[in-house]
Amino acid sequence: MNILTAAQTRQLDQATIKEQHTTSTALMERAATALASWLLRHYPPQVAGEVLLLCGPGNNGGDGLALARLLFGADYAVRLALLPADKYSDDYQYNHHVLPKTIPVSELSAGALPSIQPGTLVVDALFGTGLTRPLTGQAAAVVAHLNESGARVVAVDMPSGLLADAPQPDPAAPVVRATHTVSFGLPKLAFLLPQNAEFVGEWHVEDIGLSANFIAQADTPWHLTQLPAATPRPDVALPRRTKFAYKNTFGHALLLAGSRGKVGAAVLAAGACLRGGVGLLTVAVPGCGYDIIQTTRPEAMCLADAQADFISALPATKPYQAIGIGPGLGQDVASRAVLEKLLRETQVPLVIDADALNMLGEHRDLLDLLPENTVLTPHIGEFARLTEKTKDDYHRLDLLRAFAQQHRCLVVLKGAYTAVAAPDGHVYFNTTGNPGMGTGGSGDVLTGLLLALRADQRLAPLLAVRLAVLAHGHAGDLAAADTGEAGLVAGDLVQHIGPALRQLE
Ligand SMILES: NC(=O)C1=CN([C@@H]2O[C@H](COP(=O)(O)OP(=O)(O)OC[C@H]3O[C@@H](n4cnc5c(N)ncnc54)[C@H](O)[C@@H]3O)[C@@H](O)[C@H]2O)[C@@H](O)CC1
Ligand SMILES: Nc1ncnc2c1ncn2[C@@H]1O[C@H](COP(=O)(O)OP(=O)(O)O)[C@@H](O)[C@H]1O
Ligand SMILES: [K+]
């Protein structure tokens, strides 16, 4: 699914109105109805207590006014506080006009802020996508007051003060710290970035029938990868295996991994590659890893390096459809020479992770040798070593796109909402996974799974990478349902890859 820019989000309601022969007032009613239904599910009247709605002068405030009317009709105790302005949007004015007269209404001003007890449920309908500049004056005073109150805050569409797809021009200007943000149709780019988590809280998307055609056709570099069950138009799907498929169809992969004390990384990546459906797997490890791999992964073939503690020689690369290098590799100069030789000699699809990425960071001239569509899997720290220290998350996204374009590679920038950047500059945010996956070895599992899907002869490079990242996160979610997030270990991810992939077919 596409993620729209802020400008496209503003065009979306016009496109919807035109396409569906409806009116902006009717669209606002849909938005308010969706919000009321969300509140009924999450904060029914007896849990909510009195609801305070803060409304700005535009359509975000209009949503708040319409919501107040609907909540009032659903037996909530509601109170409104309105931000005065020179001009109000038409739909704001309409919803102000039809507001039941019995709802208490006050005017917000810096000198007379409403009292907000800790725990009060506040709806933030001050500003949404129409925000054009940092909050100042009265609006800033209201937001600062709200943030200090200890209230539970549900933000309408956006936490007020946050921009939908750009960094804050004035980091000192206040932004609402919402408990929940309920948005319409699709999430905003801002929701996917770690720097905004403290403002957005938990986000939710409510379907209000916005033009699916406009969303699908929008020219945007940002996209979401979702589970097939979560969307009427699945982004990605794993093709089913045909009756006469043979192990060559699924490819022969080579994994170069492990060093003394880090052979576990090779075991985890090998397990993930096997569970990821590879046809054949050969694992190259230092001498100390031979018995370990042969014992823990009898399905894999094993090549032992002449060196006991680290990999010092590149095996023949001819028979393989994909090669992975990096998990637990260590940083010995001999292992770096192996990486360099691999880059110079082969055009086989590569997956490069962990220590191998750090080697590239230290010897950036090697980046020019990357075969097209090589997959790199840095976390934020490793990405900084490959590029530069970033100012903020938007700057990092700029660097990410530029890097993938310049080196014609696929970059998997790992984290919550792992971002996959393609050589054409498009970025796909993953929606599966959970904080339980912040545990040693999770990245090794991803490398093994990527290797399996890159070896699969049926899958185009980008599809293979998006599927692997989606399945990895889904395996994490299935595992966490068994073990809880704290109890999750990387080996659990390997166990859940099979069921995760089955749900992507
Ligand atoms: N996109 C859609 O399809 C829909 C949008 N709706 C709502 O409409 C909202 C967008 O409405 P608007 O475009 O009217 O914009 P907003 O209501 O977000 O804000 C616009 C108003 O705020 C003022 N303003 C902007 N920045 C300011 C600042 N820093 N300080 C003080 N005033 C400032 C503007 O002059 C204008 O009066 C969405 O966020 C959503 O809540 C929904 O009603 C229905 C569907
Ligand atoms: N909060 C989170 N939500 C979703 N996925 C996460 C979260 N934290 C970590 N992960 C995933 O877990 C993996 C961790 O990889 P990495 O940082 O390389 O760990 P390691 O080096 O220990 O294996 C990545 O795929 C990342 O996306
Ligand atoms: K808002």
> Over the stretch 279-321, which tens digit does the pLDDT of each residue have?
999 999 999 999 999 999 999 999 999 999 999 999 999 999 9
H or E element in which residue 17 lies = helix 6-19
CATH code for position 148: 3.40.50.10260
Is 282 found in the same domain as 155? no
Q: What residue's CA is closest to ligand 1, atom 3?
A: 13
Number of structural domains found in the chain: 2
Is 104 found in the same domain as 15? yes
Q: Which atom of ligand 1 is nearest to the CA of 10?
A: 1
Task: Report whether residue 184 contacts ligand 1, using a CB cutoff of 6 Å.
Answer: yes
Of the candidates 205, 220, 235, which is a domain's last residue? 220
Q: Which of 204, 236, 192, 187 minimizes the C-alpha distance to 471?
A: 236
Q: CB of 441 within 8 A of CB of 265?
A: yes
CA 168 to chain centre: 20
**Predicted pLDDT at 54:** 98
- Counting as low any pLDDT under 70, the low residues of the chain are none
Query: Which bound ligand lies closest to the C-alpha atom of 156?
Result: 3
Query: Which bound ligand lies closest to the C-alpha atom of 378?
Result: 2
Residues shown for the chain: 505
Distance 24 CA to ligand 1 centre (A): 13
In a domain, 210, yes or no: yes
Q: Which atom of ligand 2 is nearest to the CA of 432?
A: 4
Q: Which atom of ligand 1 is nearest to the CA of 9?
A: 1
CB atoms within 10 A of CB 353: 30
In eight-state DSSP terms, residue 239 is P
Task: Report whether residue 149 contacts ligand 1, using a CB cutoff of 6 Å.
Answer: no
Tokens 């933000």 appear where? 155
Q: CB of 366 within 8 A of CB of 338?
A: no
**Predicted pLDDT at 487:** 98
**Predicted pLDDT at 405:** 98
Is 409 found in the same domain as 278? yes
Say how far apart CA 165 and CA 130 lie, in whole Å.
12
Is 252 found in the same domain as 211? no
Q: What residue's CA is closest to ligand 1, atom 4?
A: 13
Distance 409 CA to ligand 1 centre (A): 39
CATH code for position 294: 3.40.1190.20
Range of the domain at 417: 247-502
DSSP string, 279-340: SEEEEEE-GGGHHHHHHH-TTSEEEE-SSSSS--SPPP-TT-SEEEE-TT----HHHHHHHH
Is 358 found in the same domain as 216? no
Q: What residue's CA is closest to ligand 1, atom 25?
A: 131
In a domain, 239, yes or no: no
Q: pLDDT by residue (tens digit) across 427-461? A: 999 999 999 999 999 999 999 999 999 999 999 99
Is 262 found in the same domain as 143? no
Say how far apart CA 443 and CA 83 lie, in whole Å.
48
Is 306 found in the same domain as 208? no
Tokens 């996209």 appear where? 223
In a domain, 460, yes or no: yes
Residues with CB under 6 A from ligand 2: 379, 414-416, 418, 433-435, 437-438, 440-444, 446, 472-473
Say how far apart CA 285 and CA 335 lie, in whole Å.
11
Residue 204 bridge partners (DSSP):
182
Query: Which bound ligand lies closest to the C-alpha atom of 257?
Result: 2
In a domain, 231, yes or no: no
In a domain, 314, yes or no: yes
DSSP string, 55-103: E-SSHHHHHHHHHHHHHHHTT--EEEEE---S---HHHHHHHHTS-TTS
Task: Report whether residue 210 contacts ligand 1, using a CB cutoff of 6 Å.
Answer: yes
CA 28 to chain centre: 28
Is 146 found in the same domain as 52? yes
In a domain, 238, yes or no: no
Task: Report whether residue 83 contacts ligand 1, using a CB cutoff of 6 Å.
Answer: no
Distance 127 CA to ligand 1 centre (A): 5
Helix (H, G, I), strand (E, B) or coil at 171: coil
The ipTM, to two decimals, is 0.92
Task: Report whether residue 183 contacts ligand 1, using a CB cutoff of 6 Å.
Answer: no
In a domain, 235, yes or no: no
Q: What residue's CA is closest to ligand 1, atom 9?
A: 60
Residues in the annotated binding site for K(+): 60, 124, 160
Distance 480 CA to ligand 2 centre (A): 14
Is 211 found in the same domain as 279? no
Residues in the annotated binding site: 59-63, 124, 128-134, 157, 160, 265, 328, 379, 414-418, 443-444
CA 183 to chain centre: 16
Task: Report whether residue 59 contacts ligand 1, using a CB cutoff of 6 Å.
Answer: yes
Query: Which bound ligand lies closest to the C-alpha atom of 379?
Result: 2
Distance 220 CA to ligand 1 centre (A): 21
Q: Which atom of ligand 2 is nearest to the CA of 439?
A: 22
Q: What residue's CA is closest to ligand 2, atom 15?
A: 443
In a domain, 234, yes or no: no
Task: Report whether residue 179 contacts ligand 1, using a CB cutoff of 6 Å.
Answer: no
Distances from the Cα of 248 to the Cα of 237, 244, 422, angstroms? 21, 11, 27
Q: What residue's CA is closest to ligand 2, atom 9?
A: 438
The pairing of beta strand 350-352 with beta strand 105-107: unpaired
Mutate to test the pocket of ligand 1, among 91, 123, 131 (most ligand atoms within 8 A of CB): 131
Task: Report whether residue 165 contacts ligand 1, using a CB cutoff of 6 Å.
Answer: no
Is 264 found in the same domain as 149? no
Is 368 found in the same domain as 273? yes
Tokens 């109890």 appear where? 487
Is 204 found in the same domain as 150? yes
Beginning with the edge strand found earlier in the chain, give each strand of the sheet holding 180-184 in spatial order: 105-107, 78-82, 51-55, 121-125, 152-156, 180-184, 202-206
